Amino acid sequence: MVSGAWFVLTRLCRDRSAMIGLILILALVLCALLAPVLATHPDDLFELHPAKRLRAPSAEHLMGTDRMGSDIYSRLLFGARITILIGIIAVGASLVIGVPIGLLAGYYHSWVSDLLMRVSDIFLAVPQVVLAIAIAQTLGPSLPNVILALSVTYWPWFARLVYAETRSLQNEVFVESTAALGASPFRLVVLHVLPSIASPIIVRASIGMGFTILTAAALGFLGLGPPPPTPEWGRTIAESREFLPDAWWYALAPGLAIFLTVMGFNLLGDGLRDVLDPRLRRDRGRG
Amino acid sequence: MADLLSVRGLEVEFVTDQGVARVLDRISLRIAPGEVVGLVGESGCGKTTLARSILGILPMGAARVRGGEIQFKGRDLLREDPRVVNEEVRGRAITVIPQDPFTSFNPLFTVGAQVMDLMKWKSPHRAVAARTQRRWPAVLHRYPRTRYRADRAAVLEALRAVHLPEPERALGRLPHEFSGGQRQRLMIAMALLPRPDLVIADEPTTALDVTIQAQILRLLRQLVKERGVSVLFTTHDLGTAYEICDRVVVMYAGQEMEAAPTGVFFDRPAHPYTRRLLESLPSPGGEIRDIPGEVPSLIAPPSGCRFHPRCDYATTECRADRPAERAVGGQHRVHCFHPLGSA
Amino acid sequence: MRILALLLRRLAWFIPTLLGLLAITFVISRVIPGDPVALIAGDTATPAQVEALRRQLGLDRPLPVQFVTYVTQLVRGDMGTSLYTTRPIADDLASRLPATIELTLAAMAFSILIGIPLGVVSALWRNSVLDHVLRVITVSGLAIASFWLGIMLQLLFAMRLGWTPLNGRLQGFPPTTVTGLYLVDSVLAWDWTAFSMALTHLALPAATLAFPALATLVRFTRAGVLDVMQSNSVLYEHAMGLPRSVIVWKYILRNALTSTVTQIGLLFGILLAGAVVTETVFDWPGIGTYAVNSIIRSDYNGVMGFTVWAGAIFMIVNVLVDIAQGFIDPRARPS
């Protein structure tokens, strides 16, 4: 397994766009972790300076100030924390829910499997945003509720993926022979099935981060995200609308932040897919 | 009689992740009119690359032709205008029977549509495209009604010749509705319809059931002999070569080793590799005699005669230079410093 | 006959899935903390009045019974009453549906008509400058938040350049309603002012909505074409000297399109999801803004109604795509 991971890393390093993605993600993580240090006005998370509102970008305020006079740059940095938190927990939770469900459904051939897959079909039948809106609106705008709404609507992707892979693996000889040798289902699944399906799961998780962050931003934009003064990126964009076109920086900055973040995850995800699963390889441009 | 096709000193390289593979090393090949020539060799020896080089359909980015010439009916195909080659040679003077009948048809169009499309461009009744016609993209050209009817009749005729049941209905069917053997018969028909001079059959029976292989082979031989068409027949199976070829050429790792008329080839092989190949055929006694060693990498191939690492008779000469062609008798030629049956 | 069999099979999947969706939205809508009945009744209502209201709304009966009533009402087209407008939700949604359909269709047409040829060209001239530019655009397309893109487009084209109106669907009177689609209706009524007005208003929202869909289509078409280009059938066609334009535009395109049709179904999902947000940005009077307004006003009936509609429409489109696939790819037809 370790040598496999090393192999993947070295191959990945050769992929320029994946490396760009990795750099973007690392930048995001750094911003989030070091926000108090990197921010020029860390107190602007809570403090208001109405006198300084809606100022254009300058040396003092790198990305200008918002309607409360707070430094946009600093608030963006803290907003990175929210973004990462939402992404990791939501995708992580979807993984934790979806993978076991997929394994169960894939391993056993009973009405339970059909039921589980039917349920995930329902979730997959509706665009994630729509369901997330319904759930988040019911529960009320807050950070945990957003994460909950996203997790509940994203797990079916993992479940379906794992189900399909498990079913196709069952036809593989090595699974049949291991089972014939008397291995318990649990042992079979953990030691043999999981490593084989790890790759598609990793790829989907990486691409899922991008989608989840976009959906979270959309929820924030619609007012369903964590309430002020939390500097969530989507909400910041919503706030900025009434001050356009004059305060253009107010809308530009958080949007670019979202763009770069999601871009990073998408590029990395594509690169991972190319390395881990040659079957899905998109064209690399050679003869 | 002048050769129909004469490949001389052809050198082809492939660019790969691991380096440059010298797939064809100054290879030569001759085919006379009306002759069925078998090109025999293990997988990876370059048979398919040679076939593709003749047709000019090597993958553009990866493959490079380093040297040599391919003389066909008085023209060097390597130096000819590619558009002329596409128009007059491919699908007309030289046609193809592909290895895999399962994937060589387009799955979304009926067999009839695909055959008639071929006839639209390659029918013997079609005059070579005049320069004026070239202004419009080909996909917009119409199919003249009268020629269409004549061509269709010829197609049905051809389908009957390959013993395809119910030719009329067959034209309206999709490729996946036919068995492998039937599809290969279709391929044979399509290869002969443009009235070619040469048919390149690239392992045409490899993908088929053993029981059908012999049928297809015999059909092919019968049809080409009737029409006086030459065939370049590549295969890794000596038995198949024996069935239908007039002459057999053996390739190994991008070099040709020996060329002889079929009977002579199987009775009195001159090249050590050929003899090993023949010995490795399953014998009635049930022994299996493999050739020791492995097929060499083409990125760093052995010097001189590429078989020398596995050859019992190898000497320093064999390592130094590629042996020149030597006549063993009449049509029998070999590239070896120590051909069998000589001093 | 084969199509009928396909339809029946799809229906067998569609109905339980739809019921499942209804169950989920039903559960969600009943899981509200706090007492919605009290909210509706108002501050001044007495407990007795609240109870009476509860009985009247049928909210005192056991959940399964409520669910059955909910479904039967739904089948009859009754989606309940908006807690805010006190009008039947079904009416509200129906009146707003044409706007969303027009927007979605425009976005779809835009992305298909531009996306597929670009994908083909990108594959044919692989690694050219055009290909690289397109690849950058397509990767960005999936990373841009569509609400932000809409705002930026508004900023540039409406506010700064003044080329298009800022929002809304129309200024002045709409053409006589035939289909509810302003572009179509204005042509039918020969009202060219209305047509150009509707068009300029449609431009930015459609472009915003189309962008991620366009990116996806270009990617998939490119991959599809490249895939087909490597196939044995193309090799054979090439070996037999068929003219290049015939191979590309007749054979390769057809093969690549089969996978693209599935993508169109996927596309619709992207578009529908994007419509909610895009409509908000542009004040487009469709069911998306209805959903968002329902959110703001805590009108959970409205949100549930929208969810059911959106889900049902999405599923129907999937069924239609399946059928279309049956036509395009003869191998997919049940034989």
Inter-chain touch B95–C255, beta carbons under 8 Å = no
Report whether B48 contacts B97 (CB < 8 A): no
Cα A201–A207–A212 angle (5° rounding)? 110
Say if residue B113's pLDDT is above 90.
yes
Cα–Cα dist B234/B105, whole Å: 20
Contact list in B for residue C242 (CB cut-off 8 A) is 91, 117-118, 121
Cα–Cα dist A260/A269, whole Å: 14
Band of pLDDT at residue A278, cut at 50, 70 and 90: low
Inter-chain touch A283–C144, beta carbons under 8 Å = no
Residue carrying the six token digits 């807050």: A142
Any chain B CB within 8 A of the CB of A287? yes
Q: What is the pLDDT of residue A281?
A: 42
Q: Distance, in angstroms, between C187 CA and closest chain A CA?
A: 33
Helix (H, G, I), strand (E, B) or coil at C76: coil
Say if residue C329's pLDDT is above 70.
no
Q: What is the pLDDT of residue C71?
A: 75
First to last CA, chain C: 10
Domains and CATH numbers, chain A: 13-41+63-283 (1.10.3720.10)
Cα–Cα dist A66/A72, whole Å: 6
B102 Cβ contact list (under 8 Å, min separation 6): B180, B183, B207
Q: What is the pLDDT of residue C334?
A: 42
Higher pLDDT, A251 or C59: A251
B59 Cβ contact list (under 8 Å, min separation 6): A287
Q: Kindly state the tokens that stand for C263.
A: 């993508």
Range with the poorest average pLDDT among B159-168, B293-302, C104-113, C173-182: C173-182
Contact list in B for residue C236 (CB cut-off 8 A) is 96, 98, 104-105
Stretch A159-184: mean pLDDT: 76
Cα–Cα dist C221/B157, whole Å: 40
Range with the poorest average pLDDT among C125-129, C264-268, C294-298: C294-298
Inter-chain touch C233–B104, beta carbons under 8 Å = yes
Stretch B174-181: mean pLDDT: 90
Q: What is the pLDDT of residue B1?
A: 58
Q: Kindly state the tokens that stand for C128.
A: 């050219």
Which of A68-82, A174-188, B128-142, C235-249 ranks highest by mean pLDDT? C235-249
C274 Cβ contact list (under 8 Å, min separation 6): A129, C107, C146, C208, C209, C212, C213
Mean residue pLDDT across chain A? 81
Over residues C26-71, the pLDDT tens digits come to 777 666 555 556 666 666 767 777 777 777 666 666 777 777 777 7
Report whether C175 contacts C181 (CB < 8 A): no
**What b-and-e string marks burial along B48-66, b requiring 16 or more CB atoms within 10 Å of the CB?**
bbbbbbbbbbbeeeebebe
Stretch C94-113: mean pLDDT: 88
Residue A229, preceding peptide bond in cis (omega within 30° of 0): yes
Give B235's strand partners: B40
Inter-chain touch C331–B86, beta carbons under 8 Å = no
Domains and CATH numbers, chain C: 2-75 (no CATH), 92-149+208-332 (1.10.3720.10)
Report whether A166 contacts A197 (CB < 8 A): yes
Residue A101's H or E segment, with its range, is: helix A72-107
Stretch C204-210: mean pLDDT: 91
Cα–Cα dist A109/A87, whole Å: 33
Inter-chain touch A286–B61, beta carbons under 8 Å = yes
Higher pLDDT, A125 or B223: B223
Which of B50-64, B285-299, C1-15 ranks highest by mean pLDDT? B50-64
Q: What is the pLDDT of residue C93?
A: 81
Band of pLDDT at residue A189, cut at 50, 70 and 90: low
Q: What is the pLDDT of residue B90?
A: 92
- List C-alpha distances in Å: C60 to C23, C30, C53: 18, 12, 10
pTM: 0.76
Domain limits of chain B? Answer: 5-245
Say if residue C169's pLDDT is above 60.
yes
Residue type, A178: T
Range with the poorest average pLDDT among A28-32, A95-99, B277-281: B277-281
Neighbours of chain C (3+ CB pairs under 8 A): A, B
Cα–Cα dist B170/A231, whole Å: 69
Residue carrying the six token digits 């044979």: B188
Q: What is the pLDDT of residue B16?
A: 86
First to last CA, chain B: 33
Give B76's strand partners: B71
Q: What is the pLDDT of residue B115?
A: 94
- Domain B5-245: give its CATH superfamily: P-loop containing nucleotide triphosphate hydrolases (3.40.50.300)
Residue of A nearest to B64 (CA): A287
Any chain C CB within 8 A of the CB of A278? no
Cα–Cα dist C74/C29, whole Å: 15
Helices in B123-179 by DSSP H: which ranges? 145-161, 167-171
Band of pLDDT at residue A285, cut at 50, 70 and 90: very low
Say if residue A230's pLDDT is above 60.
yes
Contact list in A for residue C93 (CB cut-off 8 A) is none
Mean residue pLDDT across chain B? 87
Residue C274's H or E segment, with its range, is: helix C253-282
Q: Distance, in angstroms, between B175 CA and closest chain A CA?
A: 26
Rg for chain C, CA atoms, rounded: 24
Band of pLDDT at residue B342, cut at 50, 70 and 90: low
Which among C235, C242, C255 has the least Cβ separation from residue B91?
C242
Q: Kindly state the tokens that stand for A260.
A: 């770069």
Q: What string of DSSP letters covers A216-241? A: HHHHHHTT-SPPTTS--HHHHHHHHG
Contact list in B for residue A286 (CB cut-off 8 A) is 61-62
Range with the poorest average pLDDT among A57-61, B249-253, C93-97, C227-231: A57-61
Cα–Cα dist C107/A96, whole Å: 36
Residue type, C271: L
Over residues A167-178, the pLDDT tens digits come to 877 777 666 676
Report whether C103 contacts C279 (CB < 8 A): yes
Stretch B65-75: mean pLDDT: 90
Report whether C178 contacts C79 (CB < 8 A): no
Residue carrying the six token digits 């209905």: B169
Residue carrying the six token digits 């979304």: B108
Cβ neighbours of C172 (radius 10 Å): 7
- What are phi and psi for residue A215, nearest 5 degrees? -65, -40
Say if residue B343's pLDDT is above 60.
no
Cα–Cα dist C167/C146, whole Å: 15
- What are phi and psi for residue B37, nearest 5 degrees? -110, 130
- List C-alpha distances in Å: C16 to A122, C29, C278: 9, 20, 31
Say if residue B231's pLDDT is above 90.
yes
Band of pLDDT at residue A287, cut at 50, 70 and 90: very low
Any chain B CB within 8 A of the CB of A286? yes
Q: What is the pLDDT of residue B37?
A: 94
Cα–Cα dist B49/B13, whole Å: 10
Neighbours of chain A (3+ CB pairs under 8 A): B, C
Any chain B CB within 8 A of the CB of A285? no
Report whether A252 contacts C148 (CB < 8 A): no
